[in-house]
Structure formats: structure tokens, C-alpha cells
Amino acid sequence: MGRITVLISGSGSNLQSLLNAQAQKELGDGQITCVISSSKKAYGLQRAAIANIPTRVCSLYPFVKDVPKGDVVGRQECRIKFEEELAQQVLEQKPDLVVCAGWLLILGPNFLSRLRDIPIINLHPALPGAFDGTTHAIEMAWQKAQDTGNPLLAGCMVHYLVEEVDRGEPLIIKELEIIPGQETLEEYEHRVHEAEHAAIVEATVKVLKKR
């Protein structure tokens, strides 16, 4: 069995795609064994509970709540402690794969070094090299097409997680063309999410087959 730990921060729609794939035996020998959320309010926790998947919450807030925002060094030290705690929680699950499915916090070198022997993949709603490190990639791509008046090739990808944000080796790329004036931002966003749901399942299966 390929043990999968999924990291989430919000609604968990991409997690739901993985849960659906697992229920339909589309993950091969893959099995989601734990879902860890950066927020106790994340709806994705309920999705996991409905599927009888164990859940945990590992929030950054308790680590930084008593440190002033202006204390850069102090907050960096707290961030390191948070990453150490998160890494420990992940390692306790003995995963063969970690999937960041809407995880909104940047994972730094302390976390990555602890999990250096475990593949970690991440979903990014843009093509390789486009709109790195932003949570507004969908809006930015759509707006760029409207502003230039030219068609824009955009989309989403799943890539290996590395220290350079959104710069890891792509596993799955889904290209979507934006035609200016042809669709609203909401319509394009819907297309991206549909592509993401397919991509995250395909990437998970692809990595597990490499074991």
C-alpha cells in the first residue's frame, strides 16, 4: 500500500477529488491515511471525516501569536519551530507520498530537509514559470489576457515541492487558453479547478507508480 498524507488549508475540493478517486479504486495501491490542515476551520477536515480518514490540525498561529509582527527574527524562529512540528506530524504517518492540496503556507528548508526521502508534490494554478509564489495566479492570468487583448496560454500544474517556490519539476501540466472577452473570471476559475481536480489525481498515481 502506498501511504498518502494530504496537507490542506481550506475547502478541500482537491482533497475531495483524491477521496473520490480512492473510493473508485483509481489511486492504484494508494491510500490516504491522514489529512493535516493548517486551519481548524478548514472544510476539508469534514470531507476527510466523512470518508473516515484521520485528521490533524497543525496551525502556525499558536507559534507566532505572542510575537510582534515587527520582530522578524523572532517570527522566523517560530516558523522554524512550526515546520519542525509539522514535519514530525507528517513523519509519524510514515507516508510514501505527501500531497499539498491547497496548502497555503510556504514550506521551508527545515521542513523539506526532514522529509528529504519522501516525495512531496504541490498543486499550482499556473503553468511552469508563471505567477510563481502567489495565491492569485488564476486572477492574474485572466486579467493579463484582458489587459493585453491577446489570447493567453495558462492553466495549472502539479510539481515536486522544492525550496524555490513553485519551481519544482512539473509532473502534470494542464494547459488552458484564455480568450479575452470570451469568459468571466469566475468561468475561467471553474475551468482551472476542473483541470486541477484531474491533475492532482494523475500526479498522485504517477508518483506512486515510481516507488
* DSSP element (H, E) containing 5: strand 2-8
**Cα 4 to chain centroid, rounded:** 13
Decide if 126 contacts 154 (C-beta within 8 A). yes
Return all residues near 178 (Cβ < 8 A) that are at least 6 apart.
141, 142, 145, 151, 152, 153, 154, 188
Which one of 124, 159, 190, 197 is the catalytic residue? 124
Please classify residue 18 by burial: count the beta carbons closer than 10 Å to its beta carbon, then call 0-12 exposed, 13-18 middle and 19+ buried. buried
Sheet containing 152-160: give its strands across.
Answer: 55-57, 30-37, 2-8, 97-100, 120-124, 152-160, 170-178
Decide if 115 contacts 20 (C-beta within 8 A). no
Return all residues near 61 (Cβ < 8 A) that are at least 6 apart.
none
Within the chain, what is the greatest distance between any pair of CA atoms?
51
Give yes or no: 124 in active site.
yes
Return all residues near 118 (Cβ < 8 A) that are at least 6 apart.
90, 95, 96, 97, 98
Enzyme catalytic residues = 124
